[in-house]
Structure 1
Amino acid sequence: MRAWRISLATAGILLGLYGAFRLLTNVGFVELLVLAAWLIGAVVIHDGILSPAVVAVGWFLASTVRPRARRYLQGFLVVGGLMTVIAVPLMLRKDTQPVSKAMLQQSYGANLTLLLALAAALSLLLYAIRVARRTTPADAA
């Protein structure tokens, strides 16, 4: 196990160094500053907004939803949050490029709604399967 961890750590460090080398040799200084600003903004948004929101929602769910249902609801919220984080920038950038050049011509709002509905249905189905498997004739009476 120790050799496996050392090899993974070494591979990660080498890949990180390769990426840094490529950034420093192939990307202009202005683009590096934009990248640095973007990374700082991502950390601020994650640590200042997303993480406290996730903790607050988790606390609320822990105090209001039964444990058996909570894991399926939390799973849906994680998946839904990830889908939303991916879709919102695409929705905001729609119509910013000429049609001949743009790949953003889809209806991302409708697609996001459909995907969220499918994720919610899957979560409900999995929860219903779990409840059905745990229900015994004595519980039904």
Structure 2
Amino acid sequence: MSKKIFLVDDDEIHSFILETYTKKVSDGFSVEKFINAEKALNALRAIAETKNEFPNFIFIDLDMPVMNGFEFLEVYDREFYPQFPDVNLYFLSSSMNENEEKTILKSPAVISFINKPISLDTYKKCLEEKIQKMKSVQ
């Protein structure tokens, strides 16, 4: 069973912090970091084509150059969610906008919309429930 987290954020410092959190709170998860959503989508396409296991979690920043989180979600919902509904998708933003949050949360793929910077406790809570389910399946 895959134990993989995708971090999609143009803020490399924030990605580094989440990677460090992952090492503290998860048991053996690998982390793949992407500086833009387009690169993350290309990686997901490659995984889907080769029938490899999809990430368990995707944490993605809403506001990024090249392709923003809304554009990512539109493609994700169309191309990946029907095949991989068990991926936990979290959106992150440093500017909480109620309208953006409502729009993002309309997608069945999205678990939560989280304000940046994300604390260790919040990150841990995001991972805990799914990790417990994964352990019970093993």
The TM tier, using the shorter chain, reads under 0.3
Normalising by structure 1, we get a TM-score of: 0.26
Larger Rg: 1
Greater helix fraction, Structure 1 or Structure 2: 1
Higher RCO (CA 8 Å, separation ≥ 6 residues)? 2
> Which one has the bigger strand percentage?
2
Give the TM-score of the pair, scaled to structure 2.
Answer: 0.26
